[in-house]
A = this chain, B = another copy of it.
């Protein structure tokens, strides 16, 4: 492949001038610029990003590290980040930690060694101490880390919304499936929900899964069989899907036998007969503000806020008795 010296030679100018012409830095005669640009075209010259990075000590690239690529939340997030970064003039590379701290470290290490300008990371959560020692600009998404700038959903407020909805739907007793307690996302949703249920005087039980994704269906089934609960909350989409399957197996009808709210399960609506009521995250805005924050940090602009929270939304669908649905029923739909 042609390099800048080839362009210099063919165009009859020096490397300096070619560089200036390409990057619009310093003075270049209009005519000279035309000749150089034409030569570049002819030789199909493309500056080496590697050489540029070495020279500038910056690659104009941001890295994205997510813990789980199969999780639709993260794949959607990546799409959004990609677009926004492009608009801001940054390229993007992606790494996947598979929830393993060593892979997370390896990804960060790799990125640092290629002069990446900044990193957006959805941490696996077992590495927070290390993350704070990283000296590349870092923005944390989804699972905030105290010392680092972050973007996340307002999970506490989201939890409260769920509690409010249960209350409005006259639910008498709620079963909450949460994640491990050290999972902040889960913890906050749970706390919001519980606080609201307490405020409304609705009794509840918390079931804590020991894993992010998997869950003991028997355990859940046993609880549901007691017939004590007419409300069920699942703190994430995968758990929500399992819960749904479990309720189907038990023959529980929603919302008549039990009212169900899950989190972030858009794919469920596509796949299933019922579209569950869900607490959803505004992925677009999450991704966009993560990029915006990171770019600000990279460009040494002052941060307005260290921890950004985006509101969550409650999409009321088939598995709760919200008024719109009642209306539909009355209309015979």
* A153 at interface, CB cutoff 8 A: no
- Please indicate the chain B residues that have their CB under 8 angstroms from the CB of A329 in the complex: none
Interface residues of A in 197-237 (CB under 8 A from B): none
Instruction: Please pick, from B46, B79, B113, the residue contacting A48 in the complex, using a CB distance under 8 A.
Output: B113
* A270 at interface, CB cutoff 8 A: yes
Number of A interface residues in the complex (CB < 8 A): 42
A51 to B48, CA, bound (A): 12
A95 to B92, CA, bound (A): 8
| A240 and chain B: residue at smallest CB distance | B271
A244 to B241, CA, bound (A): 16
Nearest Cβ on chain B to A209's Cβ, whole angstroms: 15
23 contacts between A and B (CB under 8 A): A47-B113, A48-B54, A48-B113, A48-B114, A48-B115, A49-B110, A49-B114, A50-B50, A50-B113, A51-B54, A69-B75, A69-B79, A70-B75, A70-B76, A79-B96, A79-B98, A92-B95, A93-B93, A241-B270, A241-B271, A244-B271, A245-B271, A268-B271
Q: Is the interface of A mostly helix, strand, loop or mixed?
A: helix
Judge whether A113 and B69 touch: CB under 8 Å: no
Nearest Cβ on chain B to A59's Cβ, whole angstroms: 7
Question: Given A241-B270, A241-B271, A271-B241, are A113 and B75 also a contact pair (CB < 8 Å)?
Answer: no
* A333 at interface, CB cutoff 8 A: no
| A92 and chain B: residue at smallest CB distance | B95
Judge whether A93 and B95 touch: CB under 8 Å: yes
- Please indicate the chain B residues that have their CB under 8 angstroms from the CB of A48 in the complex: 54, 113-115
Nearest Cβ on chain B to A47's Cβ, whole angstroms: 7
| A59 and chain B: residue at smallest CB distance | B50
